[in-house]
């Protein structure tokens, strides 16, 4: 699964501002947390919030609680290298070596008076890495803060979780998320039809940063073909093998669409928001409800195994063959 890092100005993310100020106060207070765990749904902006907190914690001249942008610390952040920051991006499995480096980092004298370790996608730590982190968390060095981020907190060992202060990051409301997407795309010079944005947000499970990563991945060009392929598959106009091959060219997006279409087939209120998809919904609604439920469960399982199984194409093809009988 891809994790595109979407560059967004933090102050343009309205629903995270309260979280930011509340958390920054904790770090600047008398009893700052040694380790903070930001958790919640994927794509609500936890990574963006973690980055903002780091800048805020390390800035020497906060202005209204926000990083000043001009002090040495802020300039280091902008340059991409800060001597008091050790960041693990968690783009792939996090191995023990990356965690062991923290011990060396902990021994350095901070330039700004504090040091921060950030571990994004912390649930990607393997067992050795998690055990190694636990050792540091058990005897936290002074002046060193940990910020962990995870969309699958349940995958982390309870021993690690119990050493962290949990903080749940809420998703914005649908309207708030839509406004944010609209505002951002307009600023980038893109005029996107409201219904298109609404659908993009819906297939992103209302997670705006997920929606943004799809946009950056040429969503606008892909969506038409993709919907046509799904329509043609379901109406038996193309073979499952051919259709699935086309779908898997945009694997994440295709799974998102299939989940969205299936779940919406159970909710009339949701379907009515997307008149353009009526033809696909009609085909789905002609299939028995029980069957749609069963297919939904099977799709969840295929999706779960996507990163570990080698032949997602076979599994998805078999899924369509089952569905179409």
Interface of this chain with Zn ion, residues 282 to 321, rule: CB under 5 A = none
The nearest distance, CB 142 to Zn ion, in angstroms, is 22
The nearest distance, CB 314 to Zn ion, in angstroms, is 53
CA distances from 48 to 136, 149, 169, 186 (A): 25, 10, 11, 20
Q: 3-state class of 64 per DSSP?
A: coil
The rounded Cα 60 to chain-centroid distance in angstroms is 30
Report residue 97 as tokens.
């070596």
The nearest distance, CB 51 to Zn ion, in angstroms, is 14
What does the DSSP 8-state code read for residue 288?
Answer: -
For 48, residues 6+ apart whose C-beta sits below 8 A from its C-beta are 8, 10, 13, 16, 209
Beta strands across the sheet bearing 115-119: 85-88, 115-119, 144-150, 35-39, 165-168
**x-or-dash pattern for Zn ion, window 4-43, by CB under 5 A?**
----------------------------------------
The nearest distance, CB 57 to Zn ion, in angstroms, is 11
The nearest distance, CB 291 to Zn ion, in angstroms, is 58
> Does residue 71 interact with Zn ion by CB under 5 A?
yes
Q: 3-state class of 258 per DSSP?
A: helix
Nearer to Zn ion, 73 or 295 (CB): 73
Nearer to Zn ion, 20 or 319 (CB): 20
Q: By the 8 A CB rule, do 274 and 199 touch?
A: yes
3-state helix, strand and coil shares in percent for the chain, rounded to the nearest 5: 60, 10, 30
Nearer to Zn ion, 48 or 74 (CB): 74
Q: How many residues bind Zn ion (CB under 5 A)?
A: 5
Interface of this chain with Zn ion, residues 44 to 63, rule: CB under 5 A = 59
Q: Which of 74, 171, 177, 234 binds Zn ion (CB under 5 A)?
A: 74
The nearest distance, CB 80 to Zn ion, in angstroms, is 16
The nearest distance, CB 127 to Zn ion, in angstroms, is 38
Nearer to Zn ion, 78 or 108 (CB): 78
The candidate with the shortest Cα–Cα distance to 180, out of 197, 162, 161, is: 197
Nearer to Zn ion, 40 or 67 (CB): 67
Nearer to Zn ion, 47 or 54 (CB): 54
Q: Which residues bind Zn ion (CB under 5 A)?
A: 59, 67-68, 71, 74
């Amino acid at each position: 699964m891809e994790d595109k890092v979407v560059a967004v100005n933090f102050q343009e993310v309205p629903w995270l501002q309260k979280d930011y100020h509340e958390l920054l106060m904790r770090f600047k207070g008398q009893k700052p947390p040694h380790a903070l765990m930001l958790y919640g749904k994927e794509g609500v902006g936890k990574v963006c919030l973690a980055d903002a907190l780091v800048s805020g914690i390390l800035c020497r001249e906060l202005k209204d609680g926000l990083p000043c942008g001009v002090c040495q610390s802020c300039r280091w952040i902008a340059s991409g290298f800060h001597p008091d920051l050790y960041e693990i991006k968690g783009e792939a499995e996090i191995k023990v070596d990356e965690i062991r480096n923290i011990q060396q980092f902990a021994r350095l004298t901070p330039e700004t008076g504090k040091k921060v370790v950030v571990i994004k996608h912390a649930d990607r730590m393997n067992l050795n890495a998690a055990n190694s982190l636990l050792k540091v968390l058990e005897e936290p060095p002074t002046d060193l803060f940990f910020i962990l981020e995870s969309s699958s907190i349940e995958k982390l060992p309870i021993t690690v979780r119990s050493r962290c202060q949990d903080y749940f990051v809420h998703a914005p409301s649908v309207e708030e998320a839509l406004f944010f997407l609209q505002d951002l795309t307009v600023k980038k010079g893109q005029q996107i039809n409201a219904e298109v944005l609404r659908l993009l947000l819906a297939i992103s499970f209302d997670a705006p940063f997920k929606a943004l990563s799809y946009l950056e991945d040429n969503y606008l060009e892909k969506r038409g073909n993709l919907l046509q392929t799904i329509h043609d598959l379901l109406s038996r106009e193309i073979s499952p093998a051919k259709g699935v091959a086309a779908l898997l060219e945009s694997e994440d997006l295709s799974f998102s669409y299939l989940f969205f279409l299936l779940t919406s087939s159970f909710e009339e209120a949701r379907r009515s928001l997307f008149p353009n998809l009526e033809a696909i919904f009609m085909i789905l609604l002609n299939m028995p409800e029980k069957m749609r439920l069963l297919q939904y469960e099977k799709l969840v399982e295929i999706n779960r195994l996507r990163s570990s199984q080698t032949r997602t194409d076979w599994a998805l093809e078999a899924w369509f063959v089952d569905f179409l009988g």
